[in-house]
């Protein structure tokens, strides 16, 4: 059932989300730390030359650019157009054209059935109202088209990271759902319902080995990743809580660290593909 949303409150929430993702340097996170995720989603979704592709909550284009490299015609849509500067540079370095358009994943500005393939690589999962976002993914995909999603799992590193930050964060607004539920197969099946067929999922891990110590990762993350920056700003007037969050994030990375020469962590994610019913 579609949830009734207070439009005034929703506009304020989306403004906060836009500002949050403009904090720090998310393009460096997407392009330097997790570059393999976009190409993997594009391959799993079977993007072909000439396909009309929409990358929802595209950020700096970590799926949009690999899709364009196949010869597809790609639109990258995101609530935070500040990320498009890095996205355009990313596309230019790879010699591809991508259309960059501001858009809310819960109210996409496209007609029904516009796209052959609708993708989202750790993007749409951060839309606060999951059913509205899922409805939009299905709506703008043509009958018989493909929906491809890649999301962090609740059980993996990123799920643990959000649980670690939760005691320090402001309470979520009414009706907002945890992002990592998109990494739960049963949750996404329920969101998409009988409007799709041939739904396939697999869990995989990304290896993060860019940091010498858990503390180095935590220090980087608190300056580069928008949601973490926002939490630190929320507690900025309480030095004891800031220090406690520093310790908790460092301990989180240490729990996942299995490296012997530098910090090595495996971050679990879910890849899901499905076809819209003809």
pLDDT tens digits for 88-122?
Answer: 999 999 999 999 999 999 999 999 999 999 999 99
* C-alpha closest to that of 110 among 162, 75, 161, 84: 75
CATH numbers and ranges of domains, the chain: 7-206+265-276 (3.40.50.150)
Give the integer Cα–Cα distance in Å for 26 and 16: 16
* Whether 178 contacts 155, CB under 8 Å: no
pLDDT at 197 over 60: yes
How far is 135 from 23, CA to CA, in rounded Å? 28
Q: What is the pLDDT confidence band of residue 4, given thresholds at 50, 70 and 90?
A: low
**Helix or strand (DSSP H, E) at 17:** helix 7-22
Torsion from C-alpha of 271, 155, 33, 117, nearest 10 degrees:
20
Rg (CA), the chain: 18
Query: Of residues 9 and 77, which shows the higher confidence score?
Result: 77
Burial of 245 (0-12, 13-18, 19+ CB in 10 A): buried
Sheet holding 99-102, edge to edge: 99-102, 73-78, 52-56, 115-121, 141-152, 263-276, 196-211
Q: Residues 162-189: pLDDT tens digits?
A: 999 999 999 988 889 999 999 999 999 9
SS3 label, residue 10: helix
200-217 confidence digits (pLDDT tens): 999 999 999 999 999 999
Res 1: pLDDT: 44
Residue of 122, 134, 136 whose CA lies nearest to 199? 134
Q: C-alpha distances in angstroms, 15 versus 9, 12, 102, 145? A: 10, 5, 13, 31
**Has residue 251 got a pLDDT over 80?**
yes
Mean pLDDT of 34-43: 97
DSSP 172: P
pLDDT higher than 60, residue 3: no
Q: Which residue has the higher pLDDT, 269 or 17?
A: 269
User: How high is the pLDDT of residue 68?
Assistant: 98
Output the pLDDT for position 174.
85
**Quick check: 89 and 65 in contact, CB under 8 A?**
no
pLDDT tens digits for range 124-158: 999 999 999 999 999 999 999 999 999 999 999 99
């Amino acid at each position: 059932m579609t949830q009734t949303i207070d439009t005034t409150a929703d506009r304020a929430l989306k403004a906060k989300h836009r500002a949050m993702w403009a904090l720090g340097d998310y393009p460096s996170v997407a392009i330097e730390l997790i570059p393999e995720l976009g190409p993997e989603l594009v391959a799993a979704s079977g993007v072909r030359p000439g396909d009309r592709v929409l990358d929802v909550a595209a950020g700096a284009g970590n799926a949009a650019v690999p899709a364009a490299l196949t010869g597809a015609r790609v639109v990258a849509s995101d609530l935070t157009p500040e990320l498009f500067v890095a996205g355009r540079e990313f596309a230019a370095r790879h010699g591809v054209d991508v259309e960059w358009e501001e858009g809310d994943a819960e109210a996409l500005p496209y007609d029904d059935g516009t796209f052959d393939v609708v993708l989202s690589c750790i993007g749409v999962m951060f839309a606060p109202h999951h059913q509205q976002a899922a409805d939009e993914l299905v709506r703008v995909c043509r009958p018989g088209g493909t929906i491809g999603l890649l999301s962090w799992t609740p059980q993996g590193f990123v799920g643990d990271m959000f649980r670690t930050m939760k005691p320090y964060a402001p309470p979520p607004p009414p009706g907002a759902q945890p992002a990592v539920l998109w990494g739960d197969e049963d949750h996404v099946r329920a969101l998409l319902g009988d409007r799709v067929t041939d739904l396939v999922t697999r869990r995989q891990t990304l290896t993060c080995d860019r940091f010498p110590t858990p503390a180095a990762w935590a220090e980087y993350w608190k300056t580069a990743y928008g949601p973490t920056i926002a939490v630190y700003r929320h507690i900025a007037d309480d030095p004891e809580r800031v220090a406690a969050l520093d310790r908790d994030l460092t301990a989180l990375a240490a729990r996942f660290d299995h490296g012997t020469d530098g910090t090595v962590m495996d971050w679990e994610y879910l890849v899901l593909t499905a076809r819209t019913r003809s």
